Structures are given as structure tokens and as C-alpha cells.
Amino acid sequence: MALDESYGDRQSFFDQEALYDGQSILGNFSNETREAPFGAVGVVGRGPSFMCEASDVDSDPAGHTLVFDDTTYTVIRGEPDGTGMARLILEAV
């Protein structure tokens, strides 16, 4: 069953604006701690990401540009979650 949500509903959840290839999109920026496997131990690091509606970005957003808070990022990969949202994994340019 599909959720019936309005632009206002999404705007109340996604409260930050970014430019994706020059187009304004709403989402949530994060610079959270992430752990990546590396041999028997993991490597912990911080990495920027932007959660948004999957329909606002290309199905393969890798290589596209996202500008948030006056910082330009390259999208490393997109991680769709199957519910219509996608997390863009970013790298500062």
C-alpha cells in the first residue's frame, strides 16, 4: 500500500535545501560516523551524506554534484532504501 503524502508532509521531514546539479531539492544532510570493514578490525570515519526522495535524483547519481551550505560535493553513490528515499554518499570537492 502506497503512502499518501503531500509536498508539505515531505517538507516537514526534509527541512534542508540543497542543489543537485543546479536543481533545488529537499533532504537532510548528515556528517555521521561510519565504520568500514578492514581486515579483522573496522575503520571508523566521518562521511557526509544527504537523504532525499529518490525521485529527486537520477537512478544512478554517482558523479553528480550536490551543493549544501556553500560546500560542493560529488555524489559517490546512491543508496535507495526501497521506500522512495535515497541516501547520497558524498565527498567534498
Confidence (pLDDT) at 1: 45
Min mean pLDDT across 7-16, 27-36, 82-91 is at 7-16
- Mean of pLDDT over the chain: 87
Quote the CA–CA distance of 75 and 60 in Å, as a whole number.
10
Cell numbers 542543489 correspond to 19
Quote the CA–CA distance of 8 and 63 in Å, as a whole number.
30
Position 56 pLDDT exceeds 60: yes
